[in-house]
Amino acid sequence: MLPELSPSLETSHDTKMLAIIKQWQEGFPCQTINTDKYLFLILLKLVLDTVAFCLCCRKFYTSFLSMCSLSIVIADAVMAFGVAAMWFEGAERSLASLCFLLANASAIYGALPLPMMCLGLLDYGLGNTLNVNQTDICKHLRNVVLTLLVWIQAFIYAFSSVKAELIELDYVMGIKALVCAVEESAMINYFVLVLFSILIFSILPFWSRIPQWVKEADRLHEVREEQENHRSDILFISTTYSETQSGGDIYLYESIKPRPPLWFSLTLGFGIFWMPYLIVTVACLTYGFGVPAYVTVNLLWLECTNSLLLGVIFWIKSKTLGPYINQPENVCLWHVYWHLSKGTQEQQLHIAESNPAKEKRNAVFYV
pLDDT digit of tens for each residue in the chain (367 aa)?
Answer: 344 444 444 433 456 788 888 888 776 777 788 888 999 999 999 999 999 998 887 665 678 998 999 999 999 999 999 999 988 887 666 788 889 999 999 999 999 999 999 999 998 887 656 555 667 788 888 899 999 999 999 999 999 988 888 888 876 777 888 888 999 999 999 999 999 999 999 999 999 899 999 898 888 888 877 776 665 444 444 443 333 333 333 444 455 678 889 999 999 999 999 999 999 999 999 988 888 999 999 999 999 999 999 999 998 888 777 776 777 777 888 888 888 888 764 433 333 343 444 333 333 333 3
- Answer yes or no: are the C-beta atoms of 186 and 15 closer than 8 Å: yes
> Among 62, 145, 78, 120, which residue's Cα sits nearest to residue 304?
120
153: Cα separation from own chain's centroid: 22
**Which run of H or E residues covers position 119?**
helix 113-125
Q: What is the pLDDT of residue 178?
A: 85
Confidence at residue 348, expressed as pLDDT on a 0 to 100 scale: 35
Mark 242-281 as b/e (b = at least 16 C-beta within 10 Å).
eeeeeeeeeebbeebeebbebebbbbbbbbbebeebbeeb
State the Cα–Cα distance between residues 30 and 38, nearest whole angstrom.
Answer: 20
Name beta bridge partners: 168.
178
pLDDT computed for residue 272 by the predictor: 92
Q: Per the confidence metrics, is the pTM higher than 0.85?
A: no
* Model pLDDT, residue 55: 85
Element (H, E) at 183: strand 175-183
The predicted structure's pLDDT at residue 103: 93
Separation of alpha carbons 115 and 146, rounded Å: 10
Check residue 131 and give its pLDDT.
Answer: 57
Contact 302/269 with Cβ under 8 angstroms?
no
With beta carbons less than 8 A apart as the criterion, state whether 270 and 303 touch: no
Which among 307, 281, 289 has a CA at the least distance from the CA of 192?
Answer: 281
Alpha carbon distance 134, 24 (integer Å): 60
pLDDT of residue 230: 62
Q: What is the CA radius of gyration of the chain?
A: 26
- pLDDT, residue 231, reads 56
Q: Which pLDDT does position 96 carry in this prediction?
A: 84
**Residues in a beta bridge with 32:** 23
